Amino acid sequence: MKCISMILVAVVTLTLLIAAYSQTRQSGNQSIQTSNDQLTKEQMAKAKAKKVLVKSLPKGVEGVELKDGIFRLKPGFKWVSQPDGTIAAARNNGGAGLGGSFDCQCTGTDAKGKCVVATQGSSMGCVSHDTDKCSGTCTLTVFTGLATTRIAIY
Chain centroid offset of residue 127 CA: 12
Distance CA 7, CA 56 (A): 52
- Cβ-Cβ contacts under 8 Å for 132 (sequence gap 6 or more): 113, 114
Q: Label residues 102-113 b or e (16+ Cβ within 10 Å = b).
A: bbbbbeeeebee
Instruction: Tell me the mean pLDDT in the region 122-146.
Output: 92
**Residue 15 clears pLDDT 80, i.e. is over it:** no
Q: How confident is the model at residue 12 (pLDDT cuts 50, 70, 90)?
A: very low
Q: What is the pTM of this model?
A: 0.69
**2-16, 24-38, 70-84: the lowest-pLDDT one:** 24-38
Q: How confident is the model at residue 32 (pLDDT cuts 50, 70, 90)?
A: very low
The residues that bridge with 144 in the sheet, in sequence order, are: 147
Q: How confident is the model at residue 41 (pLDDT cuts 50, 70, 90)?
A: low
What is the rounded average pLDDT for all residues in the chain? 75
**25-34, 37-46, 58-67: the lowest-pLDDT one:** 25-34
**Residue 28 clears pLDDT 80, i.e. is over it:** no
Distance CA 117, CA 127 (A): 7
**Residue 135 clears pLDDT 70, i.e. is over it:** yes
**Residue 6 clears pLDDT 90, i.e. is over it:** no
Q: Which residue has the higher pLDDT, 2 or 102?
A: 102
Instruction: Tell me the mean pLDDT in the region 52-56.
Output: 92
Instruction: Tell me the mean pLDDT in the region 8-14.
Output: 40
Give, in degrees to the nearest 5, the angle at Cα 91 between 85 and 46: 50
